[in-house]
Amino acid sequence: MLEKVVVPLMPMTEAFELGVACEVFGYDRSDENLPTYDFSLVAAVPGPIRTRFGYGIDVPYNLDALDDADLIIVSAGGTYAADDDYMCAPRPDSSADPLLLKLQDAVSRGAKVASLCTGAFILGAAGLLDGKRCTTHWRHAKRLADAYPDAKVDPDVLYVDEDPVFTSAGTAAGIDLCLHIVRKEQGSRVANGIARRMVVPPHRDGGQAQYVASPLATVPDTTLSPLLDWMTAHLAENLTVTRVAARANMSPRTFARRFQSETGATPARWLSDQRVLAAQQLLENSDLPVDVIAERVGFGGGAVLRQHFLRLRCTTPQAYRRTFRAVTQPESP
């Protein structure tokens, strides 16, 4: 159960990553029948907490708040290095550091811990990355690997799920990780509802870890927006380029060029990705057989769905369903 979320703040806290945690878990969306979390910020060390931009954050130094947290998010922060870049300096003696001890205890009792960007250095100092895949901002990946050689640092992913330890890459990847945790714990309806309120895609493309979806990025309000909505509503039909181009009153060649210019993908790739997303929703929220789902989203058969699902999800539809159908899905309002 994901109810209490606590964010311990490091000196030189990064405002964006902190804002991500606050926006996903600290905002009251109960008016849309979405969960409200017991969310709090605490200082990770005694003394004032300042951001990289100079202003302070007045929060108590109360690490006892971590004792019954379901999720602890270590945001980005640290001290400036000589090159005006920041890093979180390794802490060699975790047995003497109250925060690191609290993080270790949290994992031992079954809580989840997550890092955003350079917050991974704190998890590494606590020994929570030893033997695990993890990530951080690509600029700091080598530094993380050098500091914690037992960690398996992957600089190419947006985030890594090594439940109960989660790590994200830099800046906006924190959104991807937080939404992934919500999706994993509370289902796609909740994660998608939060994403809509934040005006962000529920998933993003970009070399994610297993079970990290790879759908399309959002498309701005363009001349093709109504057509994209129509295509999404008719996924089960035979949507050839010729047919869709005719609906847009364009030649197939002009349509294909315009489509890629506005969406960043070919019509065929965009359509197959949308079909995978629709299949994902049905796998999570229905008991329909995989072959039936494949027909409903326009793939025709389970073998074709499996091929595209493996491409985007790095797992099979059945394996994905076993993972995500285990989550109790919240009832729709």
Which letter does DSSP use for residue 187 in this model?
A: -
Residue carrying structure tokens 């945790």: 181
Query: What per-residue confidence (pLDDT) applies to 332?
Result: 45
65 alpha carbon, distance to own chain's centre: 25
Query: Which has the closest alpha carbon to 177: 154, 150, 148, 202?
Result: 202
Query: What per-residue confidence (pLDDT) applies to 203?
Result: 66
Q: Is the peptide bond before 164 cis (omega within 30 degrees of 0)?
A: yes
- Give ranges for CATH 3.40.50.880 in the chain: 4-198
SS3 call for 41? strand
Burial of residue 205 (number of CB atoms within 10 Å: 0-12, 13-18, 19+): middle
Query: What per-residue confidence (pLDDT) applies to 94?
Result: 60
Q: Provide the sign of the torsion angle of the four alpha carbons 203, 205, 206, 209, taken in this order.
A: positive
Query: What per-residue confidence (pLDDT) applies to 93?
Result: 57
**8 A C-beta contact, residue 84 and residue 116:** no
At position 79, the amino acid (one-letter code) is T
Which class is 215-333 in CATH?
mainly alpha
Query: What per-residue confidence (pLDDT) applies to 220?
Result: 44
Does the 4-198 domain belong in CATH 3.40.50.880? Answer: yes
- Over its length of 333 residues, how does the chain's per-residue pLDDT go in tens digits? 899 999 999 988 999 999 999 999 999 999 999 999 999 999 998 888 999 888 999 999 999 999 999 999 999 987 433 333 444 444 445 667 899 999 999 999 999 999 999 999 999 999 999 999 999 998 899 999 999 999 999 987 889 999 999 999 988 899 999 999 999 999 888 998 998 899 887 766 544 333 343 344 444 445 788 898 899 999 999 999 999 999 999 999 999 999 988 888 899 999 998 999 899 889 988 999 999 999 999 999 999 999 999 887 777 898 888 766 645 444 444
Q: What share of the chain is helix, strand, coil (3-state, %, to 5)?
A: 45, 15, 40
Distance (Å, rounded) from C-alpha 258 to C-alpha 255? Answer: 5
SS3 call for 205? coil
Query: What per-residue confidence (pLDDT) applies to 201?
Result: 73
pTM across the whole model: 0.64
Distance (Å, rounded) from C-alpha 117 to C-alpha 76? Answer: 5
- Give ranges for CATH 1.10.10.60 in the chain: 215-333
